[in-house]
Amino acid sequence: MQTWTCAQPGTFDLQETEIPNRPAGYSLLRVRAIGICGTDIHAFAGNQPFFQYPRILGHELAAEVVESEQFSSGELVTIIPYFNCQTCSACAQGKPNCCEHIQVFGVHADGGMREYIAVEDRFILPGNGLSADELALVEPLSIAAHGLRRGNIQSGEKVLVMGAGPIGLFTILLAKIQGAQVEVAEPNAARLAFCIEKLGVPAATQASYQTVIDATGNRAAIESGFAKIAHGGQYILIGLQKEAISFIHPEFHKREATLMSSRNATLADFRYVMDLFRTGQIDAHDFISHHVEWSELGDIFPRIHLAEMGVIKAVIKLDAGR
């Protein structure tokens, strides 16, 4: 089978590899669509913290069951790519998304940019009629859903989303579906225009918000967000960067603000997002700006992040029956 491998930062090669073995309790899946994520791009660029090479990237997946004890062959599925230990204190608390020993597929372990993968059955979710494009968007949408769940967003609540990359856009979309009054802070004119025109969300106008959500993963932006928290409000960090962050303690104290991080997503978030697709509340085509052919991935991948490409979300397609 064919596999795209990132042997070291800046390289991306198509190799011939063995179809993986299927241990008991695992299913063999044929990959059908892969969302390209900022994590993949950072890993390729060499600025993803704690990343080891060589690595097969890709964790936003739609796949077809080839061989399985639990699922029917031919069935389209997605996977929860956060492989957890089931024994640490986070897992014991029902928070496998922040497991102490987490192995994220395509980050800590080899991922899905290959024709076949073997995945433990407990991480596989039946697609129940969702398309490959929709299933490839479930994971990043679930990241956004989890951030909102952390904040227990209420209808009518004033929410500021900082950053309108895919995770920011999905956070805006879901916050709107949940009835929040959402505004966006985004310096890139094209991305801001997309928010205004496609999502009907205005640029930030208020001095402060009940909930501020960072989806930039940029230190300066994160630090600037503290001043936007309303008194009694909260700040949710979905984005991630490598440095220490700092804020003025008396300013934070006087607000009695709550600061929280949001890591990955849970089964409940995946199910919530899949239900939104099933009930027609999300249209994948609003967000997938580019389909990338499997064979042209090596050519496009190094350029995909460039502003001139105009990518909102890119999804790699693998034909059925390759």
DSSP 134: H
Site for Zn ion in 79-118 (CB under 5 A): 84-85, 88, 91, 99
- CA 1 and chain centroid, separation: 26
Q: Give the C-alpha separation, 81 to 115, whole Å.
A: 17
Which of these ranges, 78-86, 108-116, 173-181, 211-219, lies near Zn ion under the rule CB under 5 A? Answer: 78-86
Residue 61 Cβ vs Zn ion, minimum distance, rounded to whole Å? 10
Q: CA angle, corner 177, sides to 173 and 182, nearest 5? A: 60
Size of the site for Zn ion (CB under 5 A): 6
C-beta closer to Zn ion: residue 42 or 219: 42
Among residue numbers 173 through 192, which ones bind Zn ion (CB under 5 A)?
none
**How many whole angstroms separate alpha carbon 215 and alpha carbon 2?**
34
User: x/- contact string, 233-262, with Zn ion (CB under 5 A)?
Assistant: ------------------------------
198-206 LR contacts (CB < 8 Å, sep 24+) = 198/286, 199/169, 199/172, 199/173, 200/176, 201/161, 201/172, 201/176, 204/160, 204/228, 206/158, 206/160
Site for Zn ion in 274-303 (CB under 5 A): none
Per-residue binding string, Zn ion, 136-175, x by CB under 5 A, is ----------------------------------------
Nearer to Zn ion, 84 or 262 (CB): 84
Choose between 68 and 97: whose C-beta lies nearer to Zn ion. Answer: 97
Helices within 231-301 (DSSP H only) = 249-255, 267-278, 297-300
CB of 249 to Zn ion, least distance (A): 33
Does 37 sit near Zn ion (CB under 5 A)?
yes
CA distance 188 to 269: 29
Least distance to Zn ion, CB of residue 229, Å: 27
Provide the 10 A C-beta neighbour count for residue 49: 8
- Contacts to Zn ion by CB under 5 A: 37, 84-85, 88, 91, 99
